[in-house]
Every structure is written in C-alpha cells, then in structure tokens.
Structure 1
Amino acid sequence: MKNLYFIFLFTCTCFYSFASKTQYNTDVLIVGGGTSGVMAGIQAARLGVKVIIVEESVWIGGMLTAAGVSAIDGNHELPSGLWAEFRTNIEKHYGSKQALASGWVSQVMFEPSVGEKILREMCAKEKNLSVISAVKLLNIKKKADTWQLDFSDDISIKAKLLIDATELGDVAAKLGVKYDVGMDAKATYQERIAPEKANNIVQDLTYVVILKEFDKDVTIPKPASYNKNDFICACEKLCPDKQMPRLWDCEKMKTYGKLQNGKYMINWPINGNDFYANLVEMNDLQRKEAIQKAKEHTLNFVYFMQTELGWNTLGLADEFPTADKLPMIPYHRESRRIHGLATPNMNHLEKPFDQAEPLYRTGIAVGDYPIDQHHGKNTAAPDLYFVPVPSFNIPLGSLIPENVDNLIVAEKSISVSNLVNGASRLQPVVMGIGQAAGTLAAIAVQEKKLPKDVSIRKVQDKLLKAKAYLMPYLDVKPDHPNFEAIQRIGATGILKGEGKNYKWSNQTWFYPDSVMTNGAVIASLKTFFPNLSMQANEQVLEEKLVADDAFEILTKIQPLPADYLQHLLKDYPNRNEPITRAKLADLMDKIIDPFHRKEVDFKGNFKP
C-alpha cells in the first residue's frame, strides 16, 4: 500500500510541474534583446505580426546599454529609421542635440540607464510586442514549420519564425548553421589588407565601466592581480615612450567618454580596459571565468587611474543593477559569422559598383565607420586601426543562413568577411540590421514564406516607408522630397553615388543638385536597358539634360497615357531648363519604375 501511495504522489507532482509551465505562441520569436533584437521586435510589431523578445539579461539594449557602450560610433549623418527615432528620444530626454555631445568621441552620448529606459518605452508602445527578461535559453526543437524553445523559469514558446539576435550567435550554432570565427586568409576574398593565412583571432572585448565624480576619495581596494605596468602607457603622463603611436593626453583619455551628470564611460583601447578572450566556442563555465578575468582587468585599470593618475574622486557609478556596479555583459566586438546567402567583403565596401556581385542593390542597412579592429591585447594580430573605406550598405542575404530555413540572424553574427565586421559591428549599423530582420520576418510570416523566398524589393519598400536608408547617400536625408525615389534608383545602379573617405568620416555622395549630360544619362540607362538606342549627334550628347530631353528618353522606354504624361509635365513649366539628378531620379521612378520592374536575387543580379 505504501508503494502505491508514493507512485500516486510522484505522478501528481509531475503533472503539476507540466501544467505550471508557461506556454506562449507567437509569430516571431527573437532570442536576444540586444541592439538588433530590440529594433527587430519593434519593426516586426509595427508591421502587424505578434512578436516576443526573450533576453537573458535584466536589461534590453545589449551593447548600447547592458554593456555600457553608450557612445554611438558613426552614422551621425545617416539618420536611418529606428536609429534616428532612438536618437530623437535621447535628445528629448536631455533637452537638446548639443547635450548629447558631452564627450569628444561621439556626437551622441547618454547614460546607459537612460538608454535602457528609452528602449523599454519604445517597446511598450507596440501592442504586438512582448519582452521577457532575465531568462536563459535551455533548448530548441523544430516540429514541421514551428519552432519550440524552452527557457528557464518554466517558459516555453512556439513560434513560426525565429531570429537569432544573441551577442555571439549561439542560437545559430545550436541549430547547425555553418559559420566562421577569426580572420580570413587573403586568398578567400582577395582583400588587400587580410592576413596571408587564416587564424582564429577575434577582436578584443571590453568590460566597460561607468565612473562618477564623487568629490571625495573613493579609491577601491587594491585588486590582487594589479600591475601598474599593464596601464603605464594608457596615456602620456607616465609613459616612458613618448614616441609611442596614439599616445594621448590623460585628460583627453578621461573626457573621451564623458557622459551627462558627472559620469564617464571608460572604454579605452590603448593599454586600457580592452581584454583578449575568444569566448565564441567556450562553454558557459569557461565564458564565466573569462568574463570574470575581464572584469578584474577593468578594476585594475580603475585602480590605476585612481592612484597613479590621481583621480581618486572618480568611483564606480550606481549605473547598473549589479552587485559589483559593472555592466551586465562585456562589449563583444566580434562573434560568429554565419555562411549566408550573401557575404560582402572589403572589396564590396571599397568599390561597390565594380564587383561581380552587385550586392549594393540588395542593401537594407547602412554604415559609415572605418574598418576598426581592436587587437591591442594580441601581439599576433595585425594593426587594423581605422582603415578607411567609403560608406557602405549591408545586403539582405547577409541575414539569411544558407543551410537552415525559417531562421534570420542579426546582431554581429551576420554573413560578412572578418574585415567587414570591423565596420559593420557599430551600434547604428546593428540597429539597421535589426530593423531589416524584423521587416523580413514580418513579411515572411504574413506571406507564409521562408525568408529566402521573400521579395528583396518588398523588404526594401517597407524599410523606405520607415525612413530607413538602402543606399548610404550622405547628401539626401529622409526629409528630402525625392528621398525614396533616389534610394530606389540608387539601388538599381542606374544612378550611382561617389564614395569618399575623410578622416573618421566615410562618405557616399549622390549630388542631388548636379546635372548630367544627355550622353551620361543614356549610358546609365543602358546598364539596365541594354537595347536602348537614341539617335543624337555628339554635340547633343554633351549638352546638359533638360526636362524635355528627360521625358523623351524615359517615355521611349515606357510610353505613358496622355493624361498621366500631362500630369507629370505640370511640374516642369520650363522644360528647357536643366534637370537635377534628384528630379531625374524622381522621373525615372515615376515613368519607368526600374526598382520594381526587375527583381534582384541575393547576389544583386537581376532576375530574368
């Protein structure tokens, strides 16, 4: 009888445990509420699908907030989509645009806690979006077309589509997505600055710290592993080698990351708190141990600043909800890089219009930062400090794994070469990648298609409606009356921009107010309409394009109904005046509509 009693009790306990599991069903599940994950969630929710974001940390925002990297790198002149919205919300919080330029490294700086609060508010406004924080992924399985993921706290979620927005691409790895780690050999992509042989070196990570002025001595206890020589050349004051490259004044080091309200973000790469640890293939315990060493290294640097530099009134701010006052996660500059349907390399960035794969036509996010790789803690790595490239875009195919369906990959784990990662890893680019991932996911769910079968042009159209850039044109902002038309025509390659680089600023110019010659316009159109022929002598071809000639050329390609033609002509009362590239792009868009006329594949080639 006793045996029967215990069997009965065991059965009831199991049933209760199963029944108490919290079950959710959603259209899109995003694992990782970091920089890309939040933007993916907001965008997909706005497009009308149900979305859940699950984040392991107690904060959302990833490198923007939970890692403490609250100084935005790049894209200050490319206010694309949700990045621009986030920046506007920060400006409102602090009262002005000028208030964000508190430190010299960035035009947009903010306290991490403020950034997290703003992201929470942005998420809360979306009725289709739910956020679950502080739970850990346990396992993933797929049944038919449905994903099922189990998390700690007895949470189970079923979803039609999955987005990996984790910091290190851990979901993709669990699902068997092919990927690379480390540096590519020069022979792989023929990149001019790549090493001769591939290696497994990744960029240094950083355990950022936020310090605050306390107006009293707040020196921390001396860490057990402290060695001042590790930091002696972090700045000029104590460094014996005054000729060392990139040796900065110590006050300049301090104000590098000056935040509001007497706080300082310390994310200093030169003999500072950068730390080498390749966490990608480590298990949880190994990662925890490596992260603890990175924390200790940062605290050593804090002690150095307090004692050797005399900044003993600078102490750890109460910025994060952690016992040690350090961020919840380290700043990961590099992750796995999946094998995707498109893989841009440095050549695509340097000369996008000259490549066999015109990936620029499939662009969904833009960036203007140099190739910047942090390798100060690894003497075996090359020096890749601010290698200039023009501004660039990221192709949609970079987000789609080649060997696992119904999965989209975002954050820094997208399909790019190692060198491109040095430019694509920055916050605004990753925000754009997230927004594109959310767009692709929403369309895939609504059309009941796999992401790889969704029209690239549909994704780009949705992004343009959200005021996001496809092409990184510095001189055509979203409030320009011809912004969408210029972006669409640019994405066909009929009218191209000119890439330049200037110091830290990498640029692509469209020159919307300039005027082309008749011959140049015809030559540009022939790249799309190879059978186009126009009878004109050499003198006419060298003349500047006027409205009459533009209408003649374009209506030869696409004849228009008389009433629609007259409607368009009303905007050009003097049709013998030269027409700008902006107006030409607008007419091309309205008359011949090349953007929608031919679909592109994930390599950027026009489909038959």
Structure 2
Amino acid sequence: MKKIANIIAALLAGAAILGSTACSTTTRRTVDVLVIGGTTSGTSAAIAAARQGVSTLVVEPTPMLGGMLTAQGVSAIDGNDQLPSGLWNEFREALRRHYGGARALATGWVSATQFEPHVADSIFKAMAAAEPTLEVIHGYRLEAVRMKERTVTGASFLDKRGHRLEVEARTTIDATDLGEALPMSGTPYRVGMDARALTGEALAPEEANDIVQDLTVVAILKDYGEGADRTIPRPEGYDPAEFEGCCVSGGREMTPEYMLRYGRLPGGKYMINWPTKGNDCYLNVVELPWEERIEALRPAREKTLRFIYYIQTELGFRNLGIADDEFATEDGLAYLPYHREGRRLDGVVRLTLDDVAARYDRPTALYRTGVSVGDYPVDHHHACYPGGMEKIPFPPVPSFSIPAGVMIPAATEQLLVADKAISVSNLINGSTRLQPVVLLTGQAAGTLAALAVKSGCTPREVPVRSLQRALLEQKAYIAPTYDVRPDDPDFGLLQRIAATGILRLTGEPFHWANRSWFYPEEGITVGEFTRGLKDYAPQIDVEESDTPLTAAAAAGLLRRAGGTIDTPADGDRPLTRRETARMVEEALHPFDRDIDFEGNPINL
C-alpha cells in the first residue's frame, strides 16, 4: 500500500509540473532592435527602425500603441503646431484625413490638434502594420534586462498569466515612461530635482530632492445626449469642496462650459486632464515595483472619479459619462497615468534649461547635434505637492533642438533611451516631455538604433552627422526653423547650415509656441557672418560691422576659411541668408565635417 501511495504521489507531482508548464510558457525572439514600450516614443522608434530595414520588435503592456496620445488619454497635442517634422507630421496628417481636415481637429481651446485616443491608436497600428520587419506584441511588461558585462543584450517580459517572453537584440531602446530599463541594467540615472551645482542652473534648488511633477489619470467623457443621465456612483470620500474653484485658469474665471471646452474632442467627447483644482495628483511611484505601483496609483484614479462626479453633479453635466469606446479598464479611465516625469538618464551629455535659453552662449554647442525639435515653454505641474511648493519663475525660451547625446548612456552599451527618460535636467524636462517632442525623439532613437545595427557598431559610434542626414531624409527637423519647412526646396540645405551654426537662428519666446527664425530672404551683415564662420574656421577674425554682406565679401571670407569658390560676377550685390547658405555649402560643405556629442568639430 505504501508503494502504491508513493507512485500516486509521484504521478500527482508530475501532473502538477506538467500543468504548470502548460499554463506558463516561454516565447523567444531574436531581433535587431528591441523597443521596450509602445509609448509615444516607442511607437515612433519602432516604425523608424523598421523603415531602415532592420528587424524590430516593440513590446507594450497595454492593448494600445501611442502611450501619452492613446493609452494615457492625453489626446490634445501640446506644441509643435508650426514644426511639421517627420513622424509627428505624418501622424497629424493621418488624423486630418480621418476627421476631414485641420479645422476638424481644433475642437478645444488648449490645442489645434485634438482627437479620440482610439483613433490615434488605429493610426499607429496601421503605420506599424505597414512595416514588414516590425512585430508588435501587447500584454507583456518588462521583467528584466539581459546583460553581458556593461552591454545590454535584450530583455525578458511577463504577462498576467505568467507567460514569459525572452528577447535577444543587438540594440535595445528603453521607451518606457519612467525609464524602467535603467535600474535593471545598472545604468546611472536621477529622480527628482537636480542640485544647482550639478546642472549649473540658477533656478535649480541648492540641494537635490526626490520631488517629481504631478501625474494625472486621464478620463475621456462622452456626451450621451440631452436628457441622458450617466452619473457614476458617488465615489467614496467625495467632498465637493475638493474641486471648488476648478473653473479658473491663469487667474481668470470661466464658465463650466468653457472649462470643459479646454479638452473637447471630436466625436462629442471631452478629455479630462485639468490641472486647476482638477485631477492632477502628486504621487511619487517611480521606484516602486510594478505590482506595488499599480496599488499606489489607486488614489489618482479615485481622484479622477471624484472629479467626474463633481462635473456631473455640481457643474450639472449628467449627460457626460465615461466613454464606453476608449479604455477597457474596470473604471473606464485611461490604462496608465500620464506621468510627466520619471527617471532621467545620465547620458553622454545633459541638456539643461540654460542650453535652451542661450544656445549660442554655452560652453558646449549642443544645438549642432539636434535630432528632434520642440517649441513648448517650460511647464511644471507642482500644485498638488503636499504642503505646497513655491512656483518656479521660469524664463521665456525659444524653440529648441534635442541633442543626440541625451539618448545614449554614459557607460552602458547597446542601450538607447527615448521618451521622458532622456538625459535632461529636471527643469528643462518641463519642455522636453511634451508629446510631439517625445515622438520625434523616438524617431531619432529608432533611426540611430537601425544605423548602428547596419554598421555593425554601437549607437555611440554612429557619427552624429550620419544620424542627422538620415533624419533629414525623413523630412525630420534637426534645427527648429519656424520659417523653413519641409516643402521649402532648400529645406535640407538650410537645416544643415543652421546645424553648423555658421548662420544662426534668431530665437523668439512667443506665448505657448516659441519660435526660431532663419529669415531666409533677409540680408546678413559682415559681422553676423564672421561671427558664425569663426566657429568653423578659427582663423577668421570677427568683424564688428553692420555692413551688408556682398557676394564678393562672402567669397573672400569663405576662401580664407579654407573653401574653394569663385567670386560671382555680380559680387557687389548684397546676399540674402538663403543665398549665403548656398555659397557656404558650395565652398565648405561644412556639414560633411563630423562633430562630437558636444558639438565640437572633429579633425580640425
């Protein structure tokens, strides 16, 4: 009997093992480029890499592609309305086709481009499906990063059922909101506000702290028609006093109807992402493990539900209910919170507020290494920090470029970072975190990863100018030229010359859409030209002269700079900046000289 009992026990144990194996499987993939997260940057990175012809896999925990724009519900674009660059422009044009033109997207007053999250998701999925070398896998979250010494070799992922996905990759991109791969790979990073001594920013605190920006769990409300009552059950802990004063913006009172029009979307919907006595929430969950983070975020979801109930009952919009065709979550809210800030990489360079505010007066010329662009002012959300926090008096800034080196870790190899976790200071993160900037940075990261794979090198070994040329071929901006757009016949030329600094841009802080002007049809002085040319050719003397630059004078200076060019027959004619750029290109081909990540010319 004892022997039979032992046999039965052994059989049961074996059955348990087989059952466990049957329920928990491991899938393996080997690809050229792995993108961790189908976020805003992850989606663009994957599409950009695949379009370079390399095998690419993007792994995303939610059912949607697009991150902030879809799964997080922030479907009102902040910034870059006048910078139609690369995949951002391609995405916006697809939205316009879907809804019937640009005016159909200008439904709310916060943005000229507003849309339903599920529509953006369908556009991104169609773009991804059009790439034969791109695979998308949903439902898996990052579990671990695979390493060989200081080199990332891939990652492993886990789904809710315990199934594992193991991916081996030649280059990996961390496109997660919070920089999830950084601690797993031992890559140095920072969380919170930087110390003044680290970044040199006068507005930074004297000592570093762990304060991050407020986050928001976004809701999409839908108008169910006059007479409809879609009031949700009264949330636990609801007190209308929590949201009193919500109909105020910038110190100006408004009607509830006007407040809601802030995020009015096509399709009779409203995005609820309202900072003033609304559903912003302070929670620092960055370093929490996944399971603990989900639970820790519950107060933010509950706050949004309380705000919805306030809108329905106190403000009288019972006809506005949680949209039933956007997010398949238990509460109907966005899949993930809108994190404005998480981990920030220690990269080969760090972009600071000062680099943006005074790009031509810095020890490094990071503007020369631009790979994506933005025009949004510095915007931080700290109103919900416990005990209050003094408002930071941010200075006005011009439009700006994101440097190539912010995507590359200082030490870790075969890892690139996109989205909000790039190597920037806490302060300037308030501008670099916006959706179009992040999308374009993802495009640059995917392009860089593919170039590294095709060249058989690490991302840091890809020449900066090679990456920039590849982006220009995609009609992506490397310099934020407000008045030179992709349909300009000299777009590539003027972008290249702007990125050398020989002809400098004129920055202009302008409301919520800052500008940098090339002024292609305006004249240029001898003083301006010699100032920019000296950075390329140190033998040039800067002439403090307001004399208009003529073709003859330009030819003479270009020859002195080492170029080869004949003096035009009409040498006495004053040049426009466009004509000057053409002469610079003909004589020097300055963009052919590579630069390092700080913008210094190589092989002078």
| Same fold at TM > 0.5 | yes
Q: Secondary structure at the match of 2:451?
A: helix
2:266 alignment partner, SS class: coil
Is 1:439 equivalent to 2:447 in the alignment? yes
In structure 2, the CA distance between the partners of 1:11 and 1:593, relative to structure 1 (3 Å rule), is farther
- Residue number in structure 1 paired with 2:602: 607
Q: In structure 1, which of residues 82, 85, 88 is the aligned counterpart of residue 93 of structure 2?
A: 88
Q: Is contact 1:516-1:581 (8 Å) kept?
A: yes
1:50 and 1:40 map into 2 onto residues whose CA distance is 12
SS at match of 1:442: helix
Which residue matches 1:62?
Answer: 67
Out of 372, 379, 382, the position equivalent to 1:372 is 379
* Equivalent residue in structure 2 for 1:282, among 288, 305, 308: 288
Q: Does 1:314 align with 2:295?
A: no
Alignment partners' CA distance in 2, 1:87 and 1:338: 29
In structure 2, what residue type is equivalent to 1:71?
A
Hey, what's the Cα distance between the residues in 2 that align with 1:498 and 1:148? 43
CA-CA distance at 1:607 after TM superposition? 2.4
**Once the 2 structures are TM-superposed, how far is the Cα of residue 529 of structure 1 from its aligned partner?**
0.8
Matched AA of 2:133:
N
Which one of 221, 227, 235 corresponds to residue 239 of structure 2?
227
Deviation string for 1:423-474 (max 9, x for gaps)?
Answer: 1000000011101101110111111111112111111111111111111111
1:424 equivalent in alignment to 2:462:
no
Q: What one-letter code is carried by the residue in structure 1 that aligns with 2:202? A: R
2:135 counterpart (117, 130, 139):
130
Q: Which ranges in structure 2 are unaligned for 5 or more consecutive residues?
A: none
8 Å CA contact 1:80, 1:469 repeated in 2: yes
Change (3 A) 1:499 1:53: same
Give the corresponding residue for 1:476.
484
Are residues 1:31 and 2:43 paired?
Answer: no
Superposition pairs of residues 207-356 of structure 1, within 5 angstroms: 207-215=217-225, 216-235=228-247, 245-318=251-324, 319-356=326-363
% of aligned pairs identical?
45
Alignment-mate amino acid for residue 449 of structure 1: C
Residues 151-206 of structure 1, C-alpha deviations (whole Å, 9 max, x = no match): 23332211111100111111112111111111123333232322333221111100
Q: What is the CA-CA distance between 1:387 and the residue it aligns to?
A: 4.8
**Which residue of structure 2 aligns with residue 159 of structure 1?**
169
Residue of structure 2 in register with 1:551 after alignment = 555
Kindly indicate whether the alpha-carbon contact (under 8 Å) linking 2:152 and 2:415 is maintained by their aligned counterparts in 1: no
The 2-side partners of 1:393 and 1:315 are apart by 40
How far off its partner does 1:506 sit?
Answer: 1.3
Q: Distance in 2 between matches of 1:57 and 1:27?
A: 23
Give the C-alpha shift of residue 587 in structure 1. 2.2
CA distance in 2, matches of 1:12, 1:271: 54
Match of 1:97 in 2: 102
Deviation at 1:290, TM superposition (A): 2.2
* Shift in alpha-carbon separation, 1:576–1:272, aligned structure 2, 3 A: same
Indicate the SS of the match to 1:218: coil
Alpha-carbon separation, structure 2, partners of 1:281 and 1:195: 22
The DSSP-based 3-state class of the residue aligned with 2:75 is: coil
Contact 2:397/2:508 (<8 A) preserved: yes
Pick from 572, 581, 588 the counterpart of residue 584 of structure 2: 588
Q: Which residue is 1:179 aligned to?
A: 189
Residue 338 of structure 1, CA deviation: 1.0
Compute the displacement of 1:143 (Å): 4.2
Gaps of 5+ in 1: 237-242
Contact 2:352–2:427, Cα closer than 8 Å, also in 1: yes
Alignment deviations for residues 53-91 of structure 1 (CA, whole Å, 9 cap, x no partner): 000111111111000000000010111111011000000
Q: Measure, in 2, the Cα distance between the counterparts of 1:576 and 1:335.
A: 57
- Please state how far the C-alpha of 1:517 moved relative to its aligned partner: 2.6
C-alpha deviation, 1:13, in angstroms: 4.0
Q: Is the 8 A contact 2:47 2:128 kept in 1?
A: yes
SS in 2 for 1:300: helix
Q: Report the equivalent of 1:52.
A: 57
1:374/1:385 contact within 8 Å kept? no
Moved more, 579-588 or 29-38: 579-588
Deviation for aligned residue 1:490: 1.4
Q: 1-side partners of 2:145 and 2:367: how far apart?
A: 34
Contact 2:350 2:424 in 1 (8 A): yes
CA distance in 2, matches of 1:465, 1:607: 23
In 2: Cα distance, 1:297 partner to 1:9 partner: 49
**Relative to 1, partners in 2 of residues 1:11 and 1:275: Cα closer, same or farther, differing over 3 Å?**
closer
Displacement of 1:4 after TM fit? 8.1
The corresponding residue for 2:524 is: 516
Q: Partners of 2:558 and 2:486 in 1: how far apart? A: 25
- 2: distance between equivalents of 1:15 and 1:133? 23
Letter in 2 for 1:62: G
TM-score scaled by structure 1?
Answer: 0.91
Letter in 1 for 2:384: K
Query: Given that residues 147 and 185 in structure 2 are in contact (C-alpha distance below 8 angstroms), is that contact kept between their aligned partners in structure 1?
Result: no
Aligned to 1:418, the other structure's residue is in SS state coil
Q: Which moved more, 1:475-484 or 1:544-553?
A: 544-553
In the alignment, is residue 494 of structure 1 matched against residue 489 of structure 2? no
Distance 1:289 1:385, change over 3 A: farther
Whole-Å Cα distance in 2 between the matches of residues 232 and 559 of structure 1? 67
Aligned counterparts of 1:429 and 1:402: Cα–Cα separation in 2: 22
What amino acid maps onto 1:307 in structure 2?
Answer: T
Deviations 1:109-128 (A, max 9, x none): 00000000000011111111
Is the Cα–Cα contact under 8 Å of residues 373 and 385 in structure 1 kept in the other structure? no
Aligned partners of 1:80 and 1:201: how far apart in 2?
Answer: 33
Does the aligned pair in 2 maintain the 1:140–1:150 contact within 8 Å?
A: yes
Q: Which residue of 2 aligns with 1:240?
A: none
Aligned counterparts of 2:245 and 2:541: Cα–Cα separation in 1? 66
Partners of 2:490 and 2:123 in 1: CA distance: 31
Distance in structure 2 (CA, Å) of the matches to 1:24 and 1:87: 32
- 20-29 vs 545-554, greater mean Cα deviation: 545-554
Shift of 1:133: 0.7
State the alpha-carbon separation in 1 of the partners of residues 535 and 521 from structure 2.
22
Q: Are residues 1:200 and 2:210 paired?
A: yes
2:145/2:152 contact within 8 Å kept: no
Give the Cα–Cα distance (whole angstroms) in 2 for the partners of residues 553 and 211 of structure 1. Answer: 62
Q: Structure 2: how far apart are the matches of 1:279 and 1:519? A: 52
Q: Secondary structure at the match of 1:408?
A: strand
CA displacement 1:185-234 (0-9 Å, x = unmatched)? 33332323223332211111001111111121111111111111110111
Q: Given that residues 207 and 327 in structure 1 are in contact (C-alpha distance below 8 angstroms), is that contact kept between their aligned partners in structure 2?
A: yes
Which letter maps to 1:488? R
The secondary structure found in structure 1 opposite 2:58 is: strand
Alignment length, in residue pairs? Answer: 589
The change in CA–CA distance for 1:370 and 1:559 in structure 2 (over 3 A counts) is closer
Contact kept? 1:31, 1:166, Cα under 8 Å: yes
- Tell me if the contact between 1:372 and 1:384 (Cα under 8 Å) persists in the aligned partners: no
Shift of 1:22: 2.2
Which deviates further from its counterpart, 329-338 or 483-492? 483-492
Q: Please report the TM-score for the alignment, with normalisation by the length of structure 2.
A: 0.92
| 3-state SS of paired residue (2:264) | coil
Instruction: Indicate conservation of the 8 Å contact 2:24/2:164, yes or no.
Output: no
C-alpha distance 385-55 of structure 1, shift in aligned 2 (>3 A): farther
Judge conservation of contact 1:371–1:385 (CA < 8 Å) in 2.
no
